[in-house]
Structure 1
Amino acid sequence: MPRMIQDVRWAALLSIVAATLACNQSSTAPHERFTLQARIAAADGSAAQALKADIAGTTLSAQTDAAGRFSLSAAPQGPATLHLSGPGVDTSIQLPGLDEGLSVRVAIGLSKEGQGNLKGQPEVNLRGTVASVNGNDLRIASSTVHVDENTEFDSAPSTLSQLVGQVVNVQGLQASNGSIQAANVKGNAKNPSIDFRAAIDSIAAPDLIAGGKTLHTTAATRIKVLGRDATFANLAVGQVGRFKGTVLADGSVLAENIETTAAAKPPPPPPPPPAPPVANAGAAQTVSSGAAVNLDGSASADATGIALNFQWTQTAGPLVTLSGATASNPFFTAPTVAFDQPAASLTFSLVVSDANGTSAPSTVSITVSPQPPPPPPAAPIADAGPDQAIASGAFVTLDGTASSDPAGLALTFAWTQTVSRRRSSPSRWW
């Protein structure tokens, strides 16, 4: 009996010492944060996507992904209210406890009315130091863990008091009062340490992400930049450093040492985009009235050699119809320009395009010459008729009816005597 009393006294003393140590180390213990992981199912069982999830009274929030899942990690909250909102959904779910070091997984089902309820008890994982033992209950951080004959130990202690001061990993279900019914307890578990080099990807004080890992810093985290003591404010995205710490239950790292050097070399600038193609509408032309005209865009080119798309547009001059506005060499018939009109000027714009962009327009001018003037009309032909021999004093009729005009126009006649001949005689005139 005295031996039993002595064992009890030693167990109580160990419990007091462990609890004191746990309190003194609470500011730097690796189990300061909680992690909440949830999956939300709609009334038909499908994943409830794009819902906003937030913890009432805090700024913590997340959004469900394509599988209806979200994750939150922050300082302990104790009992909390999870609020879900989205199209047709506005509901609150009471969570028993988001305590130190807890990784809590919950499944939530939504009704057709958009109200949510927990589907079963929350599953929890707790890593921490056993501060005290009270009967079948372990005190780890702020959580009470119940063990019974169904609890499995990887190395069963002869008495629970032997676990005081040890780091254990507990898996179980969380009751409505926040306590944990342990299904499995792994004793003598040491928080795995990590030591790696990486560049800082992003910073959101007091956390940062480096090499894809989330690191939590505290007042105890030792920080150096370029070999000199520094603060969290001296850290910058792109700095390359060495990170040492302890891996927490949720896979994040409680940083103990951060030493950064020069910033990582920036990636080379991206190559410039390929130049757009260049349009060439061809040389200016002078053509005859009514002639067939070929436009020539075949000199257009792209430096990468890919095929071009053509687009011709008439921008000035008498309107004509192109044989194909999207062809490289369309043709048209020049308008008719009368001989007594000025030459016509037609302007065409060519734009070419391809996957590299669209060219600046190229223009070409086509000058259409007027028709040649018609030949002058032929003069009428006068025909005074055949010669006549008549008697002296006779009436004479001249005959110009054989005169004509090639154009068939009416003629105007004008007779003129040009020669007068007389023959001398001693006695009379001829």
Structure 2
Amino acid sequence: MDQKNFMPFIILPSKQLLLIVGSNKPTMTSLVRREFGEEGTEVVTLLTWKASLNNQSQSLLSSWDASNHCSWVGIGCNKASRVTHIDLENYGLRGTLFNLNFSSFIHLVSLELYNNSIHGTIPSNIGSLVRLTYLSLSYNRLPGTIPSEIGMLSSLREHLLYSNNLLGPIPPSIGNLGNLTKLHLTKNKFVGLIPLEVRMLRSLIDLQMSRNNLTGSIPTSIQNLANLTILSLYENQLSGSIPEEVGLLRSLHKLSLTFNNLIGSIPASIGNLTNLTILYLYGNKLSGFIPQEIGKLVSLNELDLSTNNLTGSIPTPIGNLANLTILNLYANKLSGNIPSSIGNLNKLKQLILSSNQLSGSIPLSFNNLTHLQSLQLAFNRLTGHLPHNVCLGGLLEYFSASDNNLTGSIPKSLKVCARLQT
């Protein structure tokens, strides 16, 4: 037989008929649509994609055979037997998306291929999935850029592409996704600026672009995202100052800008973020005082401003943060006395004030910190005695007060620190 003219056989499951199809994909697709309708086109597209995957992947999709395609693993249909869901997360599939002709799936609302081994670029015809509301291609091996056609997915609500090898700039067309509530682009190789068009995503609740190579400043137009609860931009190369406009994001619960090149002072407007539970600004070049307004963040659980160039004293209002479990001010240039108000933070588990220029005695109020697991005061200019009840709660695992000017004896209470390791 002439291999060039050989035509494989594909069984259309819902019709139980034998169809001979050749290598001319447009002709084959037209024939299937004419004979069996759009449903048949979807089936052929799925079988074609399956055949393009490696052998192990094909065996994982063994249910994709002559049975009703709506009963296939990972496939969901509407009442008209049209494919609405392709959900194959954690299946270990290996292959590309080139043979998954997205234009065949005009009713698709969910494409879930999380945690597979999909490689090759994202095809531009992904823009034909006009009804898609959920897209997850995270934890794959996708290279290349995000096609600008992604902006055609105007129904999209969740757009998840984190943990791939995507590169290039984030396309401005992303601003067309006005219904988007969640945008996760973390852990890729994106470069360039945060596109100004992000300001158009007014429905956005969760924005995460961390662990890329983004440059430039945080756009002041971020203030338009009034519904944002999570803003995560850590581990990029962002520069400039933290814009005052961040203080207008009053719905924020988590703000993480760590390990960038941010300079300038922490804006006083940050005190408006009274719903904030996590504030991470460590690993930058921030300078100036810690604003007194930090004491307004009464919902805060974790505050980490370590490894910056902050100066001045620790503000007394920090003692208002009654829900705080972590306070980390390590490696700044803070001076003056440790405020006794820190003793009000009786939920603290970690208090890290080492590598500053703090002076004066350790407040007696530290005896109230009975939930502490880590107390780090080393490399300061502290004087006086160690707190006598340093292990009152018996939970302390790490205690460091070296390289100070402390006097007196080591507290006997250290003997009852059953968990103390260091």
TM-score normalised over the length of structure 1 = 0.17
**Which structure: greater strand fraction?**
1
Looking at both structures, which has the greater relative contact order when contacts are Cα pairs under 8 Å and sequence separation is at least 6? 1
TM-score normalised over the length of structure 2 = 0.17
**Which structure: greater helix fraction?**
2
